[in-house]
Amino acid sequence: MEHYKRTATCGQLSAADEGATVTLNGWVHRRRDHGGVQFIDLRDRYGLTQIVVDEDAAGEVKETAAELKFEYCIAVVGTVRSRLNPNPNIPTGEIELKAEKIEILSRCEVLPFMIDEKSDAREDLRLKFRYLDLRSFSMQRKIRLRHDVTFAVREFLNGEGFLEIETPTLIKSTPEGARDFIVPSRLHPGKVYALPQSPQLFKQILMVGGCDRYFQIARCYRDEDARGDRQLEFTQIDLEMSYVSKDDVFAVTEGMMAHIFKKTMNIDLPRPFPRLPYFEALDRFGSDKPELRFGMELQDFASFVSGSGFKVFEGVLESGGVIKALVAPGCAEYSRKQINELEETAKTYGAKGLAWMKVSDSGELDGGIAKFFAPRAQEILSSLEAGPGDLILCVADERHTACTSLGAVRLRLGRNLELIPEGTFNFCWIIDFPLFEWNSDEEKWDPAHHMFTMPQAQYLDTLEKNPGDVRADMYDLVCNGFELASGSIRVHDPEIQKRIFQIVGFSEEEAQNRFGFLLDAFRYGPPPHGGIAPGLDRLVMIMAGENSIREVIAFPKNTVGISPMDESPSPAEPDQYRELHLAAVPVQEKE
């Protein structure tokens, strides 16, 4: 009962195969009748091939062909011949297959949506019928890209002496790990495992264990409220290296990215990637994940405020704030409504308002706050490199708010004005992050990243004196405005670790409870080490030119953590709880 097995794929045949008898297997993509001749476009992952059932074909073949509907899975035996009307748009466009036998391998019910290059079905329907969605060339390209990227990662890191090592995914749950998924143990009632938010502790343990250069394409889990483009489970390219400084981590990461882009897209990434100190990125682009595919940088406007008589700006400067300006080229024509929209964007990031003035054709400042600054128009235009027809936008606030809100306006304008080129990839490193950040609610210092990030050497003596000034040996990799990776050199010196715990008000007991086994390990000759963890989903998303990581995951959950296909999560059976010595507690309407 073996079916006619393919001897070629649907993307393979060309004029060179003319006259050959081949068997194809695939799906009925389209079919049409034309003057008694039946045409079938047969599709598989590799391409499309036109099947023709001639008028003089055997009755059986014609009957079977007439029975075919969309997405029937079939086998066709036939002879390759050249096409009267070649289709130059597809690789097999020169030929067609004259069908001699057709076997229906399976039938297909009425489709919920067409298998098309780009489905316009709403996402939950695509996810429910993911097996149909995946058949499109568009999804197949992304699946293939993801495969190629991971293969390139492994090829490169293997060549660099990294070992891929699997770390456990049933690990210790830490009470403070608010975002841990927990997994009750059947064997040990009352006890639970947690799913890891990342292999962080284990990769550091591997360094203590002498593994020297580790990587893993690792599944990570976060039980957090669905927001934006997060998934409950996601994948990262997790690396850690012993005896390194950040330059070594940068070199490996850049080499890896270059290899990935070369092998999968034949793109040569310029190296080394530029490095931007955190505060410079904030000042110039209003973001710690700057979109560098266009300029239009934020500028400092403070020097024009003194004597302008504009009290708002003067007041902000007096209270230690900053005035940031942005020149929107050719936007002097913007309506009040358009400017209001930009202001809304700024306000989302905490700005109290968005000041503006226009540069008239004759080079005068006009409208908005122009009256305060018109006297120094020449000087301002020259300093900001603005000219006739431009719009000047300003935010006055404390530094972080002024920068990030105007940064958001910059990004919005960049998109509106189509300043961002498609298909280009601009990487940079963000460095010199603060080690601590002030928690004004609790009036204490928090770690800006995590507890194991090394302070830069020059701050070691003054750690306690000026925690806010301390810069960390920490770095982010940014591409096209997305944070792609975060990493650091780790603390391996128990004394420095203790000082950091003290600064953030972390008791020894707390430390032991959360990171006990890592701190224990550090008593046995830990090597200096550091690492990084690029997000795989996001990397492939950026490469594929998509806006959601769900587009590059075979079976994602939707935005509220549900899989419409298998309908998980599903109600627990009382038996399941009972076996785990658990009971459901009714959900209270507001406690």
Q: Please, what is the minimum distance in Å from the beta carbon of residue 130 to its own copies?
A: 7
Q: How many residues bind its own copies (CB under 8 A)?
A: 129
Is 130 labelled a binding residue? Answer: no
Structural contact between residues 537 and 553, judged by C-beta atoms closer than 8 angstroms: yes
116 is in an annotated binding site: no
Q: Under the criterion CB under 8 A, does residue 141 sit at the interface with its own copies?
A: no
Shortest Å, Cβ 233 to its own copies: 6
Rule CB under 8 A: is residue 582 a binding residue for its own copies? yes
b/e per residue 185-200 (b: at least 16 CB within 10 A):
eeeeeeebbbbbbbbb
* Cβ 160 to its own copies shortest distance, Å: 13
56 is in an annotated binding site: no
For residue 239, the tally of other CB atoms under 10 A from its CB is 25
Establish whether 537 is an annotated binding residue.
Answer: yes
Cross-strand bridge partners of residue 328:
391
Peptide bond between residue 569 and the one before it cis (omega within 30 degrees of 0): yes
Instruction: Please choose, out of 116-124, 405-413, 479-487, 550-558, the segment that lies near its own copies by the rule CB under 8 A.
Output: 550-558
Contacting its own copies within 115-134 (CB under 8 A): 129-134
Residues 233-252 that bind its own copies (CB under 8 A): 233, 235, 242-245, 248
In the complex, least distance from residue 520 CB atom to its own copies, rounded to whole angstroms = 8
CB of 96 to its own copies, least distance (A): 21
Q: Is 569 in the site for its own copies (CB under 8 A)?
A: yes
Six token digits for residue 22: 């081949």
- How far is residue 551's CA from residue 368's CA, in Å, rounded to a whole number? 43
Phi first, then psi: give them for residue 335, nearest 5 degrees.
-75, 165
Q: In terms of Cα–Cα distance, which of 407, 474, 406, 481 is closest to 437?
A: 474
Tell me which stretch binds its own copies (CB under 8 A): 85-93, 281-289, 311-319, 523-531: 523-531
Which helix (H) or strand (E) segment holds residue 148: the answer is helix 137-159
Which of 36, 168, 270, 330 is close enough to bind its own copies by CB under 8 A? 168
Exactly one of 82, 141, 151, 439 binds its own copies (CB under 8 A); which one?
A: 151
- 368 assigned to a ligand binding site: no
**Is 107 known to sit in a ligand binding site?**
no
Helices 137-159 and 536-544: crossing angle, nearest 10°? 130
Nearest alpha-carbon partner for 426 in 289, 575, 585: 289
Q: How far is the CB of 49 from its own copies (least distance, A)?
A: 15
Can you tell me which of 190, 228, 320, 423 binds its own copies, judged by CB under 8 A?
190
Q: Does 66 bind its own copies (CB under 8 A)?
A: no
Residue 450 contacts its own copies per CB under 8 A: no
Candidate residues 38, 40, 193, 331; the one interacting with its own copies per rule CB under 8 A = 193
Name residue, tokens 């940014």: 478
Nearer to its own copies, 7 or 82 (CB): 7
Please name the residue that has the structure tokens 């990004």. 411
Helix (H) or strand (E) holding 230: none
CA 467, CA 349: separation in Å to the nearest integer?
26
Q: What are the two backbone dihedrals, phi and then psi, of residue 249, each rounded to the nearest 5 degrees? A: -65, -40
- When binding is defined by CB under 8 A, the residue of 49, 64, 167, 497 that contacts its own copies is 167
Spatial distance between the Cα atoms of 373 and 388, rounded to a whole number of angstroms: 16
Using rule CB under 8 A, residue 462 touches its own copies: no
Q: How far apart are CA 483 and CA 228, in angstroms?
A: 14
Two tokens at 240?
A: 């850690």
Token pair, residue 351, equals 């700005």
Strand partners, 32: 39
**Interface map 67-106 toward its own copies (x if CB under 8 A):** ----xxx-------------------------------xx
Quote the DSSP letter at residue 545: T
Q: Is 173 in the site for its own copies (CB under 8 A)?
A: yes
Determine which residue in the list 86, 209, 388, 389 makes contact with its own copies, applying CB under 8 A: 209
Say if residue 443 carries a ligand binding annotation: no
Q: Is 449 annotated as a binding residue?
A: yes
Q: Which stretch binds its own copies (CB under 8 A): 180-188, 308-316, 360-368, 391-399?
A: 180-188
- Stretch 7-46: interaction string toward its own copies, x if CB under 8 A: ------------------x-x---------------xxxx
Q: Mind giving me the DSSP string for 295-329?
A: ----EE-GGGTTTS--HHHHHHHHTT-EEEEEEET
Q: Could you say whether residue 508 binds its own copies (CB under 8 A)?
A: no
- Contact between 461 and its own copies by CB under 8 A: the answer reads no
Residue identified by tokens 């929107």 is 328
Residues 244-303, interacting with its own copies (CB under 8 A): 244-245, 248
Give the single-character DSSP code of 89. Answer: T
Nearest distance from residue 152's CB to its own copies, in Å?
10
**Residue 413 assigned as binding residue:** no
Q: Is 224 annotated as a binding residue?
A: yes
Q: Does position 146 bind its own copies by CB under 8 A?
A: yes
Q: Does the annotation place 176 within a ligand binding site?
A: yes
Minimum distance, C-beta of residue 257 to its own copies, in the bound complex (Å): 20
Distance CA 215, CA 397 (A): 43
Give me the least distance between CB of 2 and its own copies, in Å please.
Answer: 5
**In a 3-state reduction of DSSP, which class is residue 279?**
helix
By CB under 8 A, tell whether 185 contacts its own copies. Answer: yes
Question: What backbone phi and psi angles, to 5 degrees, belong to 24?
Answer: -115, 145
Residue 490 labeled ligand binder: yes
Amino acid at 472: A
Our CB check for its own copies shows the closer of 147 and 444 to be 147
| Largest interatomic CA distance in the chain | 94
Q: Which of 158, 340, 378, 507 binds its own copies (CB under 8 A)?
A: 158
How near is the Cβ of 65 to its own copies at its closest, in Å? 16
Torsion region of 19: left, alpha or beta (phi above 0 gives left; psi -120 to 50 gives alpha): left
Could you say which of 97, 232, 269, 406 contacts its own copies (CB under 8 A)?
232
Element (H, E) at 128: helix 123-128
- Adjacent-strand bridge partners of 358: 366, 391
Annotated binding-site residues read: 176, 222-224, 231, 449, 483, 490, 535-538
Annotated binding-site residues for ATP read: 222-224, 231, 483, 535-538
